[in-house]
Amino acid sequence: MIKLYNDDCFTVMKQLKEEGIKVDAIICDPPYVINYADWDKEFNMPLAIELCYDLLKDDGNLILFQGWSNVAKTKELLDEKFTIQNWIVWDRIKGRGAKKNFVSTREDILWYCKGNNPTYNKIYSNIPKKTGGMGKKNGQECRALTNVWYDISPIVPWSPERNGHPTQKPLQLMERCVTIWTNEGDTILDFTMGSGTTGEACVNLGRKFIGIEQEKQWFDIAEKRINKQ
- Per DSSP, 115 falls in state S
Angle at 199 between CA 194 and CA 200, to 5 degrees: 110
d(CA 8, CA 30): 13
d(CA 114, CA 107): 23
Strands 142-144 and 124-128: antiparallel
State residue 93's pLDDT score: 81
State residue 40's pLDDT score: 46
d(CA 212, CA 143): 35
pLDDT tens for residues 102-112?
Answer: 888 899 999 99
State residue 160's pLDDT score: 82
State residue 50's pLDDT score: 97
Cα 132 to Cα 94, 136, 141, distances in angstroms:
31, 5, 9
Name the nearest CA neighbour of 83 among 118, 120, 121, 55: 118
State residue 172's pLDDT score: 96
Residue 188 backbone class (left: φ over 0; alpha: ψ -120 to 50; beta: rest): beta
d(CA 104, CA 170): 18
- The pTM score is 0.91
157 Cβ neighbours under 8 A, 6+ residues apart = none
Judge contact between 61 and 53, C-beta under 8 A.
no
State residue 140's pLDDT score: 85
pLDDT tens for residues 65-100?
Answer: 999 889 999 999 999 999 999 999 999 887 766 788
Report residues of the chain scoring pLDDT below 70: 32-41, 96-97, 132-137, 164, 229
